[in-house]
Amino acid sequence: MHGADARVSVLEVYYFQEMLADSGEFEVELSKEQQAVLARIAADLARTGLALPGSLSEGYYRCGRATCRCVADPPQLHGPYAMWTRKANNRTVTRRLAEPELSDYRPLFDNAKRLRALIAELQELTLSVVGTPPTSGAKCRPAAGTKVDSSHPPTQSW
């Protein structure tokens, strides 16, 4: 399984660009540069394949046993290991990945990373389009005692 190999047709890329260019009720004139940046982000987004949530940590570790080779001099640490951590139902789920799984999943973690970078770029671009809002923002916060239901994020986040 190699998510990075996922291909999309040129038609799909165009469709995606159209989708991004159509920002709902928000109408704004983009400069040539901004249009070019938006088109590149859209094309990169359309090319990104499957993406896994959470984070991957890899490395070597000491197990903590006083007589283990990992505390010898010189120490022979355990590993390499890979831990996949993610949130599921408001709980942190950690799973150890074996070497074959890690090679299978790595492109999917890379895709997720690329997605996050692209979203950040898109948000930066949008900020440059709408201008930076005033920083006070006090009245935008929910009033004291208001319950914020974070388990139901807005379905349309962009």
Residue 97 CB, nearest approach to Zn ion (Å)? 20
Q: Closest approach of Cβ 81 to Zn ion, in Å?
A: 12
27 versus 73: smaller Cβ distance to Zn ion: 73
Which C-beta is closer to Zn ion: that of 6 or that of 63?
A: 63
In sequence order, what E strands does 32-142 have?
A: 55-61, 78-88, 91-96
Among 105, 124, 130, residue whose Cα is nearest residue 49: 105
Asked if residue 102 binds Zn ion (CB under 5 A), the reply is no
Q: Within 13 Å and on the Cβ side, how many CA atoms surround 19?
A: 12
Nearer to Zn ion, 8 or 68 (CB): 68
Q: State which of positions 17-76 bind Zn ion (CB under 5 A).
A: 63, 68, 70
- Alpha-carbon distances of 129 from 45, 99, 117, 135, 158, rounded to whole Å: 19, 45, 18, 17, 14
CA dihedral sign, ordered 62, 63, 66, 70: negative
The structure tokens listed for 24 are 């709902």
Q: Measured from the CB atom, is 36 or 63 closer to Zn ion?
A: 63
Size of the site for Zn ion (CB under 5 A): 3
Rounded to a whole number of angstroms, the minimum distance from the CB of residue 146 to Zn ion is 50
- Binding footprint of Zn ion on the chain (CB under 5 A): 63, 68, 70
